[in-house]
Structure 1
Amino acid sequence: MLHHHDSPAGYRVPELVHPGLRRNPRRAHLLVSTVLGKHVPTDPAVVLAAGDRLGDLVAALLGEDASTAVVLGFAETATGLGHCVAARIGAACYLHSTRRDVPGADTFAGFEEGHSHATFHLLQPTSPDLFANSAPLVLVDDEISTGTTALDAIRALHRHHPRTRYVIASLVDMRAEEHRRGVSEAAADLGVRIEHVSLAAGRAVIPEGTTERVTALPDPALNPQAPHRGTAAFVDLPWPATVPDGGRHGFLSADTAAFDTAIATAADALAAALEPGRPAMVIGHEELMYLPLRLADALATRGTVTRFQTTTRSPGYVLDVPGYPLRRGFTFLAPEHVPETHETEVPRYLYNAQWPDAERRPALVLVVDSPADTDRLRATGGLVDVLTEAGEDVVVAVIPATDPVALRISREAL
């Protein structure tokens, strides 16, 4: 049960999140955001508006220091949200944590997330110098349940480069009083200031025994099949090698104009590959959220009725009943090849990917970067296969991934 406490932004907790389930012994409930564009197809304008409003709260808190701030978004769910906040406040630098260990990238720091299905977070900026300042650090997550992940990140980063002020920003803040005291104690221990902003604050009351009951549920029905297979098409989208595709290796305020121009060019190419007049559901790939979100918004401004969401590693429980947020689900092979690790074999998921009130069945536009454009993406059991088997028409749009070495060299040349 969700309880609303307060909001400085005119939102209510039950409007921002809907309760779902996941078969995770660490945490059986899943708060499904209505404004994030992760599990539920969402109007891209709604996603951007929520990120902008959260950014406004951060800017009001930081005042004239907002433009000097470093913003950190948490993988995988808040990579796009963090970028929205950073863009809104004009932050000097945006970085998101990653679970993809990119060849050629140096790991600046890492931390663990205790309740998650995938616990490790890596920070891989092109240079540690992106953090070598005394500006406030803004940590962005979609939901703060205990604050542990944010505190672990603060401790890890504080060891590398101490600063005096940290801000934790989230769509919803669901911490209990003991968690809030823990933040105060951590701030006192580190000798720093830790502040919070959120669109709304409340509590999720989980009935006793929920974890055991969810674990005992039968396997959910995934990967539906249609009488006729849908179609699949592929398009390569242009993207400049010196423009970061997101915040995995650091995104500077100086990158904004070139990024906006690249989005417009890529959106033109994508629009030309789509059937005129047909709705589009743009689906990002895990941490690749902000770029697909901006593409979805650009399609909408060009007249295409559009919704946005992404794939995920989160094993939510699918149940096709009215009012439940995860009505349809797909599981598929991880498209990336990750040698000498188990990551390649960890299943990936996509939820809903349907638009019941659309006038026409939408095309599903999968936006992936080049490391995910593999034979596994197209193989039996891959994402293209399971979606077309469900009768969906799929367009795969491939963006060249940022090469951290090339990006570092281009920045050093400036």
Structure 2
Amino acid sequence: MTCRTLTVPIQAGRLKLTVRHEDLPVERCLTYATRQNPRRLYLFVSKVLGKHWPVRPSVMRDIHVRLAAKIAALPGPLLVMGMAETATALGRGVAEEAASRAGRDDVVYLQTTRCRLSRPLAFAFDECHSHAPDHAVYLPDPELQPLFRAARSLVLVDDEISTGRTLVELARAYLRFNPRLEQIALASIANWLDADRRRELALLLGRPVGFPALIEGGFQFEPDPDFPAPALPVVGAVADRAHDGIAMDPACTGVLAGRWRSAVASAFPAMVNGGNPSERPLAVIGTGEYAYTPFRLALALEEAGYDVRFQSTTRSPILIGDAIASRREFPDHHGDGIPNYLYNLDADRLPVIIYEHAAMPAAHALPGLLGGLAFAVEESCRAS
């Protein structure tokens, strides 16, 4: 495809994109916004990720399938890791599709998390540009540890890669754990690394590194000198509060991909709108890192004939304007006193909020703020 350039104004300045490759058109996958973060003012807002922008679940699954096809033949055991919080549904979706479509039983999925659990830690690392930099990776349950410790291929999944620095930190941490690892893939919807940076990352990691992506190119950000630097939100977090007993997502401690099951999924369409798809259209909402099961429930609704969009709450503070038409702020669902946000909610849709723990719908502020429905379903999905 012919290389093309795009110039995109945002509140904080101007993004100049050079697009070298597109599996799907950039305009279908990305839009742009301004972060409430002086360390990095621009934001690529994915239209297909299910985070800041509502998306049809089938479109989201197509992204998973497309990326999975690029990594499904890597030698196993294959360890796939998704980055909290933005890429948890994407990472697990890629792992699930790669395992199920290739008929593999050696694909482990594990996501980074900001939850604090009383269980052995494999390693931790920082995302230096982030408003919430600490990531933890916990040891999987004993039955998955042989695959986790013996992976031949490591796939790290994020929505977009601009410098690769955070993913390199994660890969190096895993390499100290498993120095026999043979190859690495840094998978993303959009990859902005040039050839020199890709070679540099491969040298840093000492192994072959692939870069499967749907969009490839480069960008420059020109800040507007007159734009006032925004202050980060004030966070009154509860110090060292453990999340044992409330963080129910099994992906925080590892799952064998390709075996996702939910007793709720088949019955869920009958639980919404009285089982009548012709009633009010729906907005299914995941909560923070807990996004894959909510996405699958949204997909079940779409497959049952409902008009549904999927998105997730987030810690990421983004300014209204550009691609952000609306912003709702509320305390986090884990009770840590951390501001959370929901962007671009369609007011004409009935909100259906999906939580990971049964106590959350009654305790969290979001159901009262939005109205609509709230469910907790993860106990039924633990078999995954």
TM-score, length of structure 1 as denominator length:
0.76
CA contact (8 A) 2:156 2:187 kept: yes
The structure 1 residue matched to 2:211, chosen from 178, 196, 207, is 196
1:316 aligns with 2:318: yes
- Deviation digits for residues 249-294 of structure 1 (CA, Å, limit 9, x no counterpart): 21113633xx155532445444647886221100100111111111
- Which runs of structure 2 are paired with 1:68-147 in the superposition (5 Å)? 68-90=77-99, 92-102=107-117, 104-124=118-138, 125-127=140-142, 128-147=145-164
Moved more, 11-20 or 76-85: 11-20
CA contact (8 A) 1:21 1:214 kept: no
Q: How far apart are 1:47 and its partner, in Å?
A: 0.6
- Which runs of structure 2 are paired with 1:9-408 in the superposition (5 Å)? 10-59=23-72, 62=74, 65=75, 68-90=77-99, 92-102=107-117, 104-124=118-138, 125-127=140-142, 128-162=145-179, 163-176=181-194, 179-187=197-205, 191-209=206-224, 213-215=227-229, 245-253=249-257, 255-256=259-260, 259-270=261-272, 272=274, 277-319=279-321, 324-337=322-335, 344-354=336-346, 361-370=348-357, 373=360, 376-377=363-364, 382-387=365-370, 393-400=371-378
Q: How far apart are 1:386 and its partner, in Å?
A: 2.9
Taking only aligned residues, the RMSD between alpha carbons, in angstroms, comes to: 2.9
In 1, distance between residues paired with 2:232 and 2:314?
A: 21
Q: How far apart are 1:110 and its partner, in Å?
A: 1.3
CA contact (8 A) 1:4 1:200 kept: no
Moved more, 276-285 or 177-186: 177-186
Equivalent in the alignment of 2:11:
none
Counterpart amino acid of 1:354?
Answer: D
CA contact (8 A) 2:18 2:217 kept: yes
Higher strand share: 2
SS at match of 1:179: helix
In 1, distance between residues paired with 2:277 and 2:198?
A: 51
Q: How far apart are 1:217 and its partner, in Å?
A: 9.2
CA contact (8 A) 2:284 2:311 kept: yes
In 2, distance between residues paired with 1:274 and 1:118?
A: 41
Q: How far apart are 1:248 and its partner, in Å?
A: 1.6
Q: How far apart are 1:135 and its partner, in Å?
A: 2.2
Q: How far apart are 1:372 and its partner, in Å?
A: 6.5
In 1, distance between residues paired with 2:380 and 2:178?
A: 26
In 1, distance between residues paired with 2:292 and 2:151?
A: 27
SS at match of 1:255: coil
Distance 1:254 1:181, change over 3 A: closer
Q: How far apart are 1:14 and its partner, in Å?
A: 3.8
Q: How far apart are 1:195 and its partner, in Å?
A: 1.5
Distance 1:276 1:12, change over 3 A: closer
SS at match of 2:253: coil
- Deviation digits for residues 149-192 of structure 1 (CA, Å, limit 9, x no counterpart): 110001111111121211110000012455334303203xxx32
In 2, distance between residues paired with 1:271 and 1:154?
A: 45
Distance 1:311 1:274, change over 3 A: farther
Higher helix share: 1
Aligned-pair identity in percent equals 30
Q: How far apart are 1:120 and its partner, in Å?
A: 1.0
SS at match of 1:192: coil
SS at match of 2:203: helix
SS at match of 1:54: helix
SS at match of 1:175: coil
In 2, distance between residues paired with 1:157 and 1:84?
A: 21
Counterpart amino acid of 1:306?
Answer: V
CA contact (8 A) 1:40 1:352 kept: yes
In 1, distance between residues paired with 2:276 and 2:125?
A: 41
CA contact (8 A) 2:192 2:218 kept: yes
Aligned length: 347
Structure 2: runs of 5+ lacking an equivalent:
1-14, 100-105, 234-247
TM-score, length of structure 2 as denominator length:
0.82
Counterpart amino acid of 1:76?
Answer: E
CA contact (8 A) 2:77 2:150 kept: no
Distance 1:146 1:274, change over 3 A: farther
In 2, distance between residues paired with 1:205 and 1:372?
A: 45
- Deviation digits for residues 87-141 of structure 1 (CA, Å, limit 9, x no counterpart): 1210521111111113x43322211111111111111222443411142011100
In 2, distance between residues paired with 1:25 and 1:43?
A: 32
